[in-house]
Amino acid sequence: MLPFGLLALLHLYIGWRIAPQLPASAAAALLATLVLSAFLIPWSMTRRRLGDRAAADRWTWAGMSALGLLSMLLVLTLLRDLVLLLALPFVHTPLAESTAMAVSLLALLGVLLGLINARRTARVKNVDVPIAGLAVALQGFTIAQITDVHVGPPVKRAYVQAIVDAVNRLGVDAVALTGDLVDGRVADLHADVAPLAQLRSRHGTFFVTGNHEYYSGAVEWMDRLRALGLRVLHNEHVVLDHDGTDLVMAGVADFGAHHFDPSHRSSPQGALAGAPAAAGLKVLLAHQPRSASAAADAGFDVQLSGHTHGGQFWPWNLFVRLQQPFTAGLHRLRSLWVYTSRGTGYWGPPLRLGAPSEITRLRFVAAIR
């Protein structure tokens, strides 16, 4: 979260650059909104420790919504200043006034559209993954990938239930949850994740930890998800017999898990240890795309990841590549296919713009030579 001093300066910058160019009523509304936002964002952080969880959740909702609006206003204000700088020889009052009004209206529109996109149930995205020499028995094998749901203050049981219902309608062979399922402790969120026990597929549901599990008590969550009937893959694999052909489903701890617990160091090589060399397909569940290089070295055919949210909302999607090798979609790394989901939920501000949420239905097909 932003330091409070910087947070105040950002609010002041927006007010200074935009409000003087607006009609009096619009300027008053903007300044009142900025004052409220400057209060809500830090205040909501202190309210998370309230004993009353419902009240704490409402404060978090308000603070994160304010943060989303601040982000939109800040980016648009910076862009406006760049436009005015480039147009400096031609600058005149109507241009300054019209662009100031445009910033206010576009920020409001962006927040409303982003909220609708974030709160709707993720749509199903169908992806075919071509595998060279794929065994006939595995032709058409399907995995439903759910990732980055971030069950917590804004994401509750009804949201999770809608995702579960959508996945169950797909009739897939396996379900993969690739981390960042929760933002909070088991004691607070156990009822909200309970619908995951209803997930149905031929071979079951598999889970790997993301970085947010380690902020929320990873070991406790791993135990809770096992109790719900999910198979937690912690640097290990299972062999699925699919119509007489073996498929290896492996999973690793989050890429940075060792910073929280040295015994949880992510190991694609270890996850594949002892797996049948002649398996028809080797699939790795790894929360962060950064695991891909080690997964390729280990000999996996496919890696399913999340973490990036596809950037979640513009323009932050442009910066994901500074930390991760892939932002979203299907990519090739040597002999490994890497699919990076944009996420099934959202984190922080309830906004999704230019990076729609998804429930991914991956289907393995024989590569055409």
pLDDT tens-digit series, residues 279-294: 999 999 999 999 999 9
Q: Which pLDDT belongs to residue 319?
A: 80
| Mean pLDDT (the chain, rounded) | 93
Residues 26 and 86 in one domain: yes
Residues 62 and 92 in one domain: yes
Report the pLDDT averaged over residues 167-171.
98
Q: What is the pLDDT of residues 214-262, one digit of tens each?
A: 999 999 999 999 999 999 999 999 999 999 999 999 999 999 999 999 9
Residues 186 and 327 in one domain: yes
Among residues 95, 119, 143, the one where a domain terminates is 119
Q: Indicate if the pLDDT at residue 90 is higher than 60.
A: no
Q: Which pLDDT belongs to residue 50?
A: 60
The sign of the torsion formed by the CA atoms of 306, 308, 312, 314 equals: negative
Residues 154 and 73 in one domain: no
Report the pLDDT averaged over residues 307-319.
86
Q: Which pLDDT belongs to residue 51?
A: 62
Question: Residue 179 sits in which domain range?
Answer: 123-366
Among residues 119, 149, 164, the one where a domain terminates is 119
Residues 348 and 263 in one domain: yes
Residues 187 and 99 in one domain: no
Residues 298 and 192 in one domain: yes
Residues 257 and 321 in one domain: yes
Give me the CATH number covering residue 170: 3.60.21.10
Among residues 119, 139, 158, the one where a domain terminates is 119
Q: Which pLDDT belongs to residue 111?
A: 94
Q: Which pLDDT belongs to residue 44?
A: 78
Residues 162 and 101 in one domain: no
Report the pLDDT averaged over residues 199-206.
98
pLDDT bucket at 92, cuts 50 / 70 / 90: low
Domain count, the chain: 2
Residues 72 and 169 in one domain: no
- Lookup: tokens for 152: 């917590």
Strands, sheet with 231-232, edge to edge from the N-terminal-most edge strand: 123-131, 358-366, 142-146, 174-177, 205-207, 231-232
Alpha helices in the chain (DSSP H): 4-18, 24-47, 53-86, 93-119, 157-168, 186-193, 211-215, 218-227, 268-272, 292-298
Residues 162 and 233 in one domain: yes
Residues 113 and 194 in one domain: no
Q: Which pLDDT belongs to residue 318?
A: 79
Query: Which of 90-94, 228-232, 291-295, 361-365 has the weakest average pLDDT?
Result: 90-94
